[in-house]
């Protein structure tokens, strides 16, 4: 007999679930602030995967830096823990700064580890070239800068990148020890419509 109790209660649960599915659409008036939208009305056709390759220039030196310290690291931190830099870094299609500009990486990064040099990257790739002009890809992730390849998630986007998701692979192309300027190759794999 005791064994039948859970069986009975799970049957009751199933009935309740069924009833709630049946009754809510029948009796409940849909809310004014939300409604289900037809995918086609948003132009959501087939999802595609794009691979972008470009170079990210972190210019910290000279007369026109694009990466500026806005919060000082805590004292005596070997990993510069606490440092935050705001960036408006050029993105170019080739490794030289003089290569074609395709957009800017706008956002900030901060030193977020007390053990190794690891950054929290928070940035939008704001494209300014061709059909992607005005569209953005948002990256938020962990960047352990001394690793050869760092993977970070693409968490969204705007314009042609609405509903975007994916990842980036960042590889340091050049680092100038004296000036602190860095050029990083970004390979972006993004699913979008
Ligand atoms: C950090 O170092 C600077 C310069 O030596 C000093 O003026 C400041 O008080 C220190 N800050 C803290 C929180 O220890
Ligand atoms: C990108 O869009 C902006 C704003 O609409 C426009 O001013 C600019 O000329 C465009 N750039 C290119 C390369 O099409």
Protein residue closest via CA to atom 5 of ligand 2: 134
Asked if 175 contacts 33 with a C-beta cutoff of 8 angstroms, the reply is no
pLDDT at 11: 57
Q: Does residue 152 belong to any structural domain of this protein?
A: yes
160 CA → ligand 2 middle, Å: 15
- pTM for the whole thing? 0.82
Q: Does residue 30 belong to any structural domain of this protein?
A: no
pLDDT tens digits for range 92-116 = 999 999 999 999 999 999 999 999 9
pLDDT string in tens for the chain (193-residue length): 445 555 555 555 555 555 555 544 444 456 889 999 988 888 888 999 999 999 999 999 999 999 999 999 999 999 999 999 999 999 999 999 999 999 999 999 999 999 999 999 999 999 999 999 999 999 999 999 999 999 999 999 999 999 999 999 999 999 999 999 999 999 999 999 9
> Which ligand lies nearest the alpha carbon of 77?
1
23 CA → ligand 2 middle, Å: 52
Ligand 2 atom at minimal distance to the Cα of residue 133: 1
129 CA → ligand 2 middle, Å: 7
pLDDT at 27: 47
Q: Does residue 9 belong to any structural domain of this protein?
A: no
Q: Does residue 26 belong to any structural domain of this protein?
A: no
Reference 170, options 15, 16, 68, 56; nearest CA is: 56
Q: Does residue 6 belong to any structural domain of this protein?
A: no
Q: Does residue 1 belong to any structural domain of this protein?
A: no
Residue 168 CB partners (closer than 8 Å, separation 6+): 139, 141, 151, 152, 153, 154, 186, 187, 188, 189
Q: Does residue 24 belong to any structural domain of this protein?
A: no
The Cα 64–Cα 179 span in angstroms is 13
Q: Which domain holds residue 128?
A: 45-192
CATH number at residue 59: 2.40.480.10
Query: Within 6 Å (CB) of ligand 2, which residues are found?
Result: 128-129, 133-134
If one counts the domains in the chain, the total is 1
Q: Does residue 54 belong to any structural domain of this protein?
A: yes
Tell me which of 131, 133, 135 to substitute to probe ligand 2's pocket, judged by most ligand atoms within 8 Å of the beta carbon. 133
159 CA → ligand 2 middle, Å: 14
């Amino acid at each position: 007999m005791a064994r039948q109790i859970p069986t009975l209660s799970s049957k009751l649960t199933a009935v309740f679930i069924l009833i709630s599915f049946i009754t809510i659409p029948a009796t409940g008036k849909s809310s004014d602030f939300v409604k289900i939208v037809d995918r086609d009305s948003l132009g959501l056709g087939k999802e595609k995967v794009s691979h972008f390759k470009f170079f990210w220039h972190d210019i910290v030196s000279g007369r026109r830096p694009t990466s500026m310290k806005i919060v000082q690291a805590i004292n005596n931190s070997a990993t510069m823990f606490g440092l935050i830099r705001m960036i408006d870094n050029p993105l170019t299609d080739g490794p030289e700064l003089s290569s074609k500009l395709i957009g800017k990486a706008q956002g900030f990064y901060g030193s977020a580890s007390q053990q190794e040099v690891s950054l929290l990257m928070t940035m939008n790739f704001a494209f300014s070239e061709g059909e992607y002009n005005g569209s953005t890809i948002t990256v938020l992730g962990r960047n352990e800068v001394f690793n050869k390849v760092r993977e970070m998630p693409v968490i969204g986007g705007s314009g042609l990148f609405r509903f975007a998701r994916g990842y980036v692979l960042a590889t340091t192309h050049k680092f100038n020890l004296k000036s602190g300027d860095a050029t990083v190759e970004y390979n972006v794999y993004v699913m979008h419509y």
